[in-house]
Chain A
């Protein structure tokens, strides 16, 4: 309480016995509570705390613990990198499976018609012909 308010109350307390009695009662109760002593632990609790916070000498999951204790920025950066990585792998797989995107053309020979297509198969679908050819060698 400050300034005029405090002065007003002080002036009132000088004239009003009822309020003065209430104030005295409150102050007496304050003093009663203030007399309560400070209690202290009977045992040395640090021994318990030390045992429960002992740093581990070696843990195979130290890196995991470090990530967990890392700051929010590092966590966000790690999450963003993971999302970008997953997106890149997904896009790459999708492109490989779209064989119709690859160019195709037909080559006409004198006796046979050979169709050449882009494929993931390194033998281009001519496995049997290749085996036959090797067999004749």
Chain B
């Protein structure tokens, strides 16, 4: 087929995938250009390492190429793609045991690099340092979460997917998802608060130990 513009959305993802089935590498290239950033973001937040995230990104699109025939169109293409990405990230974490290798400090350093590159565009150096510290703390807190919690937080807060899509990607039933997400968020808040060095106090009321997943001590509804 002729060259398709990378962001020409008149050609749908599904049409491109259909072309991938026929071994059209140009179609895969367009799919890659369209989705590399969100997929990379997910992988980077899960793996906390640029090299591994890049390798995993390549793996994801090789899997898309090979599994193009298995896409039935029951779900959205992006949901299917994120599902492959989430499974690839899990495989990476398990096979290389990154979780054991990456310490909290590594997270601080790598996120620090990202923050520095973002800060290079800002004017006030004091402001950029504050921003860098803030990003480093959030990144370190994310690294402190379990694999499942990190995936939920990444999909909901960073990829901004809705509950239905997240439920499909993670295989968690929709009813359970909100509770799990709430608990993951509370754990992240707790870790952030610990890294901030401040008092956890009110932030942690009824968070992780609360089996119902709801806050204790809230006032009565009138």
Q: Shortest CB–CB separation between residue A83 and chain B, in angstroms?
A: 24
A30 contact set on B, CB distance < 8 A: 157
* Contact for A16 among B29, B41, B135, B219, CB less than 8 A: B219
Flag whether A33 is at the interface (Cβ < 8 A): yes
B34-62 residues at the A interface, CB under 8 angstroms? 36-37, 40-41, 44, 50, 53-55, 57-58, 61-62
- Please indicate the chain A residues that have their CB under 8 angstroms from the CB of B134 in the complex: 32, 35
For B138, the closest partner residue in chain A by CB is A36
A30 and B189 CA atoms in complex are apart in Å by 10
Question: Which residues from B are CB-within-8-Å of A40?
Answer: 37, 40
Q: What is the chain A residue whose CB lies nearest that of B119?
A: A37
A52 at the interface (CB under 8 A from B): yes
Contact B23 A49 (CB under 8 A): no
B21 at the interface (CB under 8 A from A): yes
| Size of interface on A: residues with Cβ below 8 Å to B | 33
A19 / chain B contacts, CB cutoff of 8 Å:
218-219
What is B's interface to A at a CB cutoff of 8 Å? 21, 23, 25, 28-29, 32-33, 36-37, 40-41, 44, 50, 53-55, 57-58, 61-62, 65, 69, 114-115, 118, 131, 134-135, 138-139, 153, 157-158, 185, 189, 192, 202-203, 215, 218-219, 221-222
